[in-house]
Amino acid sequence: MIMADILKIFLLILGGLLIFLSYWLAAEALFPALVERARDQYRRPYKLTFAGLAMAAPVLALAFACTKLNNPLMNIVSLFLLGIVLFGGLAGSAGFAKRIGAGLPSPLDEAQPWRRVLRGGIVLTLTFLLPFIGWLGLSIWTLVSGFAAFVFAIRESKAANPAVPAQPTTESPAVPAAA
């Protein structure tokens, strides 16, 4: 194995870990309330694991079935379904990174709350480097449980903010007096 091969593998792994970290930071920057609710969901990681498997498996099976049809439109549908699970898993697992980062407090957290996600994300992505357990176990578990945390966080936000119908006003419009 020459040095170019080693560098190629190293940079591919480093790039993959940076992708995880950048999506977690983007989710925290764009949807801080959602990430906070997803963080709260990680109090019950077993529930998230089983719910994530139950929710993601049918979507992924449907995406796989769409690819078997050899239709370009169905291939686009399968990519869309895969993207929903992947981006939902990344957005939800930002809550897990934030939960880990909250366990590593810093005085800068009050001024820059995104640093919790950065610290937790670095620690979490470093656990992905462990052969086999990290590659296949932790990284996939993080995405599956993150998808469930994402779905539950969205459901929780809708339950907390139900749509309130507009109340009709009982006041009649002012009618100008006839002179």
Structure tokens at 70: 């050899």
- Which distant-in-sequence residues (6+ apart) come within 8 Å of 80 by Cβ? none
pLDDT, residue 35, reads 95
- Taking the CA atoms of residue 152, residue 157, residue 162 and residue 164 in that order, the dihedral angle to the nearest 10 degrees is -160
Structure tokens at 24: 């977690």
Decide if pLDDT at 166 tops 60: no
Spatial distance between the Cα atoms of 21 and 144, rounded to a whole number of angstroms: 17
Q: Which helix (H) or strand (E) holds 175?
A: none
Residue 103: Cβ-neighbour burial (10 angstroms; 0-12, 13-18, 19+): exposed
Tens digit of each residue's pLDDT (9 = 90 or more) over 10-66: 999 999 999 999 999 999 999 999 999 999 999 999 999 999 999 999 999 999 998
> Which residue is associated with the tokens 């990344």?
90
Query: Is the pTM above the cut of 0.75?
Result: yes
pLDDT, residue 169, reads 59
